């Protein structure tokens, strides 16, 4: 557990640099499509690949990661929808605890079950306070987690949840409106949260436009995650990467 990915995350945050993560769902990419995404990500200087999905029905997680590893050095970070989505080939694991929900299984239950396998994998573990925010429609994550998302306009709940997460020792906060959310998380909520925590803030869910990514970074997000939109239109990788990387250094 080298802590290399976390050092990159915190180093970039300290330097006031914003990061862009392309989310790959192993269920949704063919080998050819993944080649295209990797090549566009390299050209666009994408900072991270996040890898995972709520379900992962196929068995090609390892293959996808090895394909990425065979062509580039962009760190691969597991963002698992369930404890079975582990691969020793990744660089790090977002060890998610659903702090916005009240489902004990996702707060600690599944971690107890997965702990030996996680330890054995040798993966860098990044303890993550995962917060689901209402994105205007039921998403897979809200259904699977059986937990009520934080209402989109309840910024105070979001900020208290994030503060509690940091004080409980989480290393990053991930605010997610859910994959394919109708409405991405508001800049106001992002700003309120970021003003009250000092750990990196990851934001995703329903981001489809470079302008949204830019505004979210200006609001205080440290990492922007996009999955659905780049799956549909791979050309967006460059546009969003450029937008994220053009945010003025705030350090």
Contact positions toward ligand 1GP, by CB under 6 A? Answer: 23, 176, 178-181, 204-207, 225-229
| Residues 172 and 200: beta-carbon distance below 8 Å | yes
Distance of CA 110 to CAs 12, 37, 107, 124, Å? 31, 32, 8, 18
The smaller minimum CB distance to ligand 1GP, of residues 65 and 131, is found at: 131
- For the bound state, the minimum distance from the C-beta of residue 137 to ligand 1GP, rounded and expressed in Å, comes to 11
The smaller minimum CB distance to ligand 1GP, of residues 133 and 247, is found at: 133
What tokens appear for 6 in the block? 């976390």
- For the bound state, the minimum distance from the C-beta of residue 112 to ligand 1GP, rounded and expressed in Å, comes to 24
- For the bound state, the minimum distance from the C-beta of residue 165 to ligand 1GP, rounded and expressed in Å, comes to 17
The smaller minimum CB distance to ligand 1GP, of residues 29 and 119, is found at: 29
Cβ atoms within 10 Å, residue 143: 11
The smaller minimum CB distance to ligand 1GP, of residues 15 and 55, is found at: 55
The smaller minimum CB distance to ligand 1GP, of residues 86 and 236, is found at: 236
Which residues are within 8 A (CB) of 56 and not within 5 positions of it... i.e. 6 or more apart? 25, 26, 27, 81, 82, 84, 85
The smaller minimum CB distance to ligand 1GP, of residues 52 and 75, is found at: 52
- For the bound state, the minimum distance from the C-beta of residue 207 to ligand 1GP, rounded and expressed in Å, comes to 6
The smaller minimum CB distance to ligand 1GP, of residues 122 and 143, is found at: 143
- For the bound state, the minimum distance from the C-beta of residue 38 to ligand 1GP, rounded and expressed in Å, comes to 18
- For the bound state, the minimum distance from the C-beta of residue 29 to ligand 1GP, rounded and expressed in Å, comes to 13
- For the bound state, the minimum distance from the C-beta of residue 23 to ligand 1GP, rounded and expressed in Å, comes to 5
Residue sitting closest to ligand 1GP (CB):
204
């Amino acid at each position: 557990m080298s802590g290399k990915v976390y050092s990159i995350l915190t180093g970039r945050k300290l330097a006031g640099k914003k990061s862009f993560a392309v989310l790959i769902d192993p269920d949704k990419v063919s080998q050819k499509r993944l080649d295209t995404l990797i090549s566009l990500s390299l050209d666009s200087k994408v900072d991270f690949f996040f890898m995972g999905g709520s379900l992962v029905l196929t068995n090609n997680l390892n293959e996808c990661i090895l394909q990425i590893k065979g062509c580039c050095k962009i760190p691969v970070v597991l963002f698992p929808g369930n404890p079975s989505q582990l691969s020793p080939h990744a660089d790090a694991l977002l060890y998610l605890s659903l702090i916005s929900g009240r489902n004990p299984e996702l707060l600690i239950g599944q971690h107890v079950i997965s702990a030996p396998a996680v330890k054995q994998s040798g993966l860098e573990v990044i303890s993550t306070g995962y917060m689901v925010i209402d994105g205007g429609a039921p998403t897979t994550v809200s259904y699977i987690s059986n937990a009520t998302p934080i209402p989109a306009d309840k910024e105070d709940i979001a900020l208290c949840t994030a503060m509690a997460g940091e004080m409980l020792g989480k290393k990053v906060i991930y605010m997610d409106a859910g994959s394919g959310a109708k409405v991405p998380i508001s800049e106001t909520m992002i700003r309120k949260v970021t003003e009250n925590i000092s750990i990196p803030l990851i934001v995703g869910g329903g981001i489809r436009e470079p302008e949204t990514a830019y505004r979210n970074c200006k609001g205080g997000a440290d990492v922007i995650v996009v999955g659905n939109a780049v799956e549909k239109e791979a050309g967006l990788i460059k546009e969003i990467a450029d937008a994220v990387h053009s945010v003025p250094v705030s350090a």
